[in-house]
Amino acid sequence: MTGEELKKIQTPLKEKYTNDGASALITLKAKGRIGENVSCKIETGLQISEAGLHPATGGTGLQLCSGDMLLEALVACAGVTLSAVATSLEIPLEECIIKAEGDLDFRGTLGISKEVPVGFRQIRLIFEIKSNETDEKIQTLLKLTERYCVVYQTLINATPVDAKIINL
């Protein structure tokens, strides 16, 4: 896709959202069902994925780990965003590999120590890029990718999450 083709697709959406801000508010949804042997089956748009315990918490490693899925969502969103920004700015990328790494201390999630927080201590998002563009344009690409990546912004801004139980 060229920058012009992307602009042709996005321009009417941008105009619509500018004129009617409410039309830009979309609710994304995910759904899962508790399965056997401490698992959860998540309905994705294409298939059912089964998440389970990470081997560091007693899992078999045969199911997806939700922590890995979080990092995968970050990589997916950052990759699509970077690609869109590069396309829009007409920055040619010969190759681009996106990696996410996150450090966890499982003592927190296993309830061994209340002093150890539950969750990732740090996440690193790494873009390995092969391009002949200037360093200045590559830094602009990174800055705009960070600005417009939904998952990245959600993580760094600690979006509030409201959890509740509804008795069926």
In tens digits, what is the pLDDT along the chain, a chain of 168 residues? 888 999 899 999 999 999 999 988 888 777 878 777 787 888 877 788 889 989 998 888 899 899 999 999 999 999 999 999 999 999 999 999 999 999 999 999 899 989 999 999 999 999 999 999 999 999 999 999 999 999 999 999 999 999 999 999
Can you give the CATH number for the domain in which 111 is found? 3.30.300.20
Amino acid at 32: G
Decide if 145 is inside a domain.
Answer: yes
Residue 139 forms part of a structural domain: yes
CB of 43 closer than 8 Å to CB of 34:
no
The residue type at 159: T
pLDDT at 33: 80
The confidence score (pLDDT) of residue 117 equals 92
Confirm whether 40 is domain-assigned.
Answer: no
Domain containing 144 equals 65-156
**Residue 53 placed within a domain:** no
Q: Is 103 exposed, middle or buried (0-12, 13-18, 19+ CB in 10 A)?
A: exposed
| Helix H or strand E encompassing 120 | strand 120-130
Q: Go through 37-61 and write b for each residue having 16 or more CB atoms within 10 A of its CB, e for each that does not.
A: eebeebeeeeeeeebbbbeeeebee
pLDDT of residue 102: 94
Task: Say what the pLDDT of residue 122 is.
Answer: 94
Looking at the chain, how many residues does it have?
A: 168
21 occurs within a structural domain:
no
Domains in the chain, number: 1
Domain membership of residue 18 (yes or no) is: no
pLDDT of residue 30: 77
Q: DSSP assignment of 84-98, as one string?
A: HHHHHTT---SEEEE
The answer to whether position 117 is within a domain reads yes
The answer as to whether 113 is a domain residue is yes
**Per DSSP, what are the bridge partners of residue 24?**
none
